[in-house]
Amino acid sequence: MTLSLPASRTPDRDDAPPIRWGVLAPGGIARDWTAAVHATTASRVVAVGSRAQDRAQAFADEFGVDRAYGSYEQLVGDDGIDAVYVASPHSEHRDHALLALAAGKPVLVEKAFTRNAAEAAAVIDAARAANLLVVEAMWTRFLPHLDVVRQCLENGLLGEVKAVIADHGQHLYPDGPQRMSDPALAGGALLDLGIYPVSFAHLALGGFDRVQAFGTIATTGVDEGETIGVVSASGAVGTLSTTMAAHSACLASVIGTEARVDVDSWFYRPNTVRLFDGDDVELDRYEPPARTHGLAYQAAEFARLLADGRTESDLMPLDETLRIMQVLDEVRAQLGVRYPGEPG
């Protein structure tokens, strides 16, 4: 029998119910996310909050947003929004998510979810206590091509999974965004770039029993790059790498005893999935319906969850978000990277 890839089960983005979003912190990722939401979903950003009124107003003017606030407290207090998208630096995610939850607002929190696992647990506990929806904005988890990979794992199409390989490198240091090299903003390669291969492998292997990391530290004290070896409970291995000092191929593979799947370059974006047999013959491939506005899939899923009265996503469960943050903590501990204010 010839193996073939399953069809993606991911619903169309424009079929999700409309909700009214408030954007907290109008930076670069917020701009990309808002453009995607407006282009391909029924939802709209209706309010934006910044520490500076002029920044909020400029964002509102660019995207046709109704209300611009010069404080985050005003934004989360707006009764005309259904949910808050937290797009501030990693260092602020806990406080901003807690601020929104305290105001009774469901929250989509940019990845990495927080600086560390203790902060993640605080947000998760607050959300569960308030019975409010919170989702980590690990956008890859919601893309159609990753559902194809997920089904390959669920259906045993690959046989017994033995290995995962994934990498993500971008040339963002030393001449890139200042936040990447700033310990106070929880900078470094791991939380911004390395989380993609870690999250991919965590899904493919069902978690890690052992983690071993080797890396390079930038002059500012953040991690410049690392290679992370992981082992699952079944004995499958993963080789994961990231760097903010150079551009890498950004490929991902899941390798089983019967077959493997490869995801093309920039594996974490809408992408092609290829199925190979043990003789390296390509048996099938999946092409995504569109390679644009991939950030909208997570917003559409959030809207569906909110309409259904759910408090977390099966595609990115909160307990898994917490376990991934624990892995990132372990990697940083092995490398000797600590952010200001973290316990020694």
Q: Does the pLDDT of residue 159 top 70, yes or no?
A: yes
d(CA 65, CA 56): 10
Q: Does the pLDDT of residue 290 top 90, yes or no?
A: no
CA distances (Å), 333 to each of 43, 76, 323, 340, 344, in order?
40, 34, 15, 14, 10
Write the pLDDT tens digit of every residue in 305-317: 999 999 999 999 9
Q: Look at strands 161-169 and 252-256 and give their pairing.
A: antiparallel
CA distances (Å), 308 to each of 136, 141, 143, 302, in order?
18, 19, 20, 10
3-state secondary structure of 311: coil
Position 125 confidence tier, pLDDT thresholds 50, 70, 90 = very high
Q: What is the chain's alpha carbon radius of gyration, rounded to the nearest angstrom?
A: 20
Write the pLDDT tens digit of every residue in 2-51: 899 999 999 999 999 999 999 999 999 999 999 999 999 999 999 999 99
**Average of per-residue pLDDT across 263-275:** 98
Q: Does the pLDDT of residue 338 top 70, yes or no?
A: yes
d(CA 153, CA 148): 9
Write the pLDDT tens digit of every residue in 79-104: 999 999 999 999 999 999 999 999 99
Q: Which pair of tokens denotes residue 239?
A: 């080789």
**pLDDT at position 92:** 98
d(CA 243, CA 95): 28
Domains of the chain: 13-139 (3.40.50.720), 140-292+314-335 (3.30.360.10)
Q: Single out the catalytic residue among 111, 150, 202, 269.
A: 111
**pLDDT at position 1:** 62
Burial 281-313 (b: 16+ CB within 10 A, else e): eeebbbebeeeebbbbbbbbbbbbbbeeeebbb
Sheet of strand 259-263: strand arrangement: 210-217, 223-231, 237-243, 161-169, 252-256, 259-263, 273-277, 282-286
Average pLDDT, the chain: 97
CA within 13 Å, CB half, 8: 22
Q: Does the pLDDT of residue 222 top 70, yes or no?
A: yes
- 86 within 8 A of 101, measured Cβ to Cβ: no
**pLDDT at position 285:** 98
Answer yes or no: 111 catalytic: yes
Share of the chain above pLDDT 70, in %: 99
**pLDDT at position 291:** 85
**Average of per-residue pLDDT across 190-207:** 98
Name which of 272, 266, 271 is nearest 169 in CA terms: 266
**pLDDT at position 245:** 98
**pLDDT at position 206:** 97
